[in-house]
């Protein structure tokens, strides 16, 4: 298959996909099928709740090209810091290779930026790559800038634009995050990524990972003749 000029300018898409396995209604057979698809299609990772972490670790086997990413305090981050820390430590002890952490938005919007950052720094000290989930649909410009700066100072390896709630993540939001990060950390797009052209727009804007529940469908569309 000949790539379109647009696709030739972009990195390979499958390794950028982080297949989300976060639907609490997923049946175990579907969960395992999606794990197998992630390996077969060459995805960069699977993102799981703590409930499914051990099952997915066993299915993936030892560490390989598909990174096992565990969510902490997903989706709203509304947990005491010690419980969030306990979740992160449990995930690390049960095979997680990276953490996707929803921070304490209440602390941020109520002027406690130090508390917001200290909670993240304690999790970053576990020495697993940490993605911090930023709710770009609800934070205003000043809050987003403060959150990004605090998360990077706390040791975030990546900032995630979107938590899957509300409007789909946009290329403009990725570009805004890219300006805020100034190359200090990576950017992951998540939320409503269903169409290939949308995914390509997000990558072109600067996303180096795509969190989506529709990874196999994106690859199928990618393989269609152009």
pLDDT tens string 82-140: 999 999 999 999 999 999 999 999 999 999 999 999 999 999 999 999 999 999 999 99
Residue 226 above 90 pLDDT? no
Joined together, the tokens standing for residue 195 give: 């169409």
pLDDT in tens, 128-145: 999 999 999 999 999 999
Q: Which residues contact 126 (CB under 8 A, 6 or more apart)?
A: 88, 89, 92, 99
Residue 1 above 50 pLDDT? no
Task: Find out whether 124 and 99 touch, Cβ atoms under 8 Å.
Answer: no
pLDDT in tens, 212-222: 999 999 999 99
Mean pLDDT (whole number) for 17-32: 95
Euclidean distance between CA atoms 181 and 118, whole angstroms:
19
Q: What is the pLDDT of residue 2?
A: 46
Centre a 10 Å sphere on the Cβ of residue 173 and count the other Cβ atoms it contains: 23
CA distances from 224 to 1, 109, 196 (A): 8, 45, 11
Q: Tokens 């304490």 label which residue?
A: 104
Rg (CA), the chain: 17
Please state whether the predicted TM-score (pTM) of the whole model is above 0.85: yes
More confident residue, 41 or 166: 41
Q: pLDDT band at 63, cuts 50/70/90?
A: confident
Q: What is the pLDDT of residue 3?
A: 53
Q: pLDDT band at 6, cuts 50/70/90?
A: low
Euclidean distance between CA atoms 143 and 120, whole angstroms:
16
pLDDT in tens, 188-197: 999 999 999 9
Mean pLDDT (whole number) for 10-19: 94
């Amino acid at each position: 298959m000949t790539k379109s000029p647009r696709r030739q300018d972009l990195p390979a898409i499958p390794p950028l996909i982080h297949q989300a396995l976060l639907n609490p209604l997923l049946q175990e057979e579907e969960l395992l099928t999606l794990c197998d698809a992630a390996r077969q299609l060459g995805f960069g990772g699977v993102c799981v709740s703590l409930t499914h972490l051990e099952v997915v670790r066993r299915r993936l086997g030892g560490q390989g090209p598909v990174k096992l990413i565990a969510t902490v305090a997903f989706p709203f981050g509304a947990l005491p810091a010690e419980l969030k820390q306990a979740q992160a430590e449990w995930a690390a002890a049960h095979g997680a290779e990276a953490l996707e952490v929803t921070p304490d938005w209440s602390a941020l919007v109520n002027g406690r930026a130090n508390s917001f950052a200290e909670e993240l720094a304690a999790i970053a000290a576990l020495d697993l790559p940490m993605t911090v989930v930023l709710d770009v649909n609800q934070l205003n410009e000043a809050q987003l800038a403060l959150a990004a700066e605090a998360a990077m100072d706390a040791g975030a390896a990546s900032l995630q634009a979107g938590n899957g709630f509300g409007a789909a993540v946009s290329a403009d939001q990725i570009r805004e995050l890219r300006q805020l990060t100034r190359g200090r950390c990576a950017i992951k797009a998540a939320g409503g990524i269903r169409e290939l052209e949308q995914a390509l727009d997000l990558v072109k804007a600067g996303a180096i990972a795509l969190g989506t529940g529709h990874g196999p469908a994106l690859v199928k569309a990618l393989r269609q003749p152009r």
